[in-house]
Amino acid sequence: MEEKIKLHDREFILSITASQIQDAVARVASAINRDMAGEDLLFISILNGAFMFTADLLKRIGMNCQVTFVKLSSYRDASSTGIIKELIGLNEDIRGRSVIVVEDIVDTGATLGRIMDQLTIHNPKQIRVATLLLKPDVFKGKIPVDYVGLEVPNAFIVGYGLDYNGLGRNLEGIYEIV
Ligand code: 5GP
């Protein structure tokens, strides 16, 4: 694995190795396997960033389960001037089901809050959250994050699904901006 990489105009250094990531993924998977045995389980993966974590996580889930992928579309609301983030692409009926939202990183928790609001209205049996990464120093959300792979400091990171202006998602490790 490269120690230093360049994406566009910025340099990044390796901060979490591929094997540390895989250990974290395994820990999250075994907690889910333990807690969710016997549930009608649906994973909802938030694109784009969570695609790689979702793939590795799902390989380690030992019970029957489904997975679907959704996206957040951002648009400016003319009446409130705020940015509205709407969940698009959810075709499954989640009523009465056990849902696990799969996120790459939870920073302030604002995005997660929006996602939870939009899922709750469909009356699932329960919603849990699994994120590979959490920035605890920035997190202001009220939503409990049930499964956290690794806590990271408040710095901009890329790799393993996370991008910098479109680049870096393919990296096996996680890199921090210099
Ligand atoms: P939040 O709404 O929790 O503040 O932000 C969550 C979203 O911001 C993540 O899903 C991710 O898209 C983006 N994000 C937050 N921190 C980072 C980071 O360090 N690197 C990258 N590439 N994206 C981040």
Cβ of 163 below 6 Å from ligand 1:
yes
Say which CATH number the domain at 16 has: 3.40.50.2020
The string of DSSP codes covering 41-57 is EEEEEEETTTHHHHHHH
Q: Which of 56, 107, 117, 137 is catalytic?
A: 107
Place 147 in a pLDDT band, splitting at 50, 70 and 90: very high
Q: What is the pLDDT of residues 73-124, one digit of tens each?
A: 877 776 766 787 899 999 999 999 999 999 999 999 999 999 999 999 999 9
Choose the weakest-confidence range: 45-49, 97-101, 140-144: 140-144
| Cα end-to-end span (Å), the chain | 17
Residue reference for tokens 């699904």: 161
Q: How far is the CA of 38 from the centre of ligand 1 (A)?
A: 32
40 is catalytic: no
| Owning domain of residue 156 | 4-177
Q: Is 113 helix (H, G, I), strand (E, B) or coil?
A: helix
Cβ of 49 below 6 Å from ligand 1:
yes
Q: How far is the CA of 113 from the centre of ligand 1 (A)?
A: 13
Pairwise CA distance, residues 170 & 11, whole Å? 16
Q: How far is the CA of 64 from the centre of ligand 1 (A)?
A: 30
Q: Classify the phi-psi angles of 87: left when phi > 0, otherwise alpha if psi is within -120 to 50, otherwise beta.
A: beta
Count of structural domains within the chain: 1
The closest residue, in CA terms, to atom 11 on ligand 1 is 105
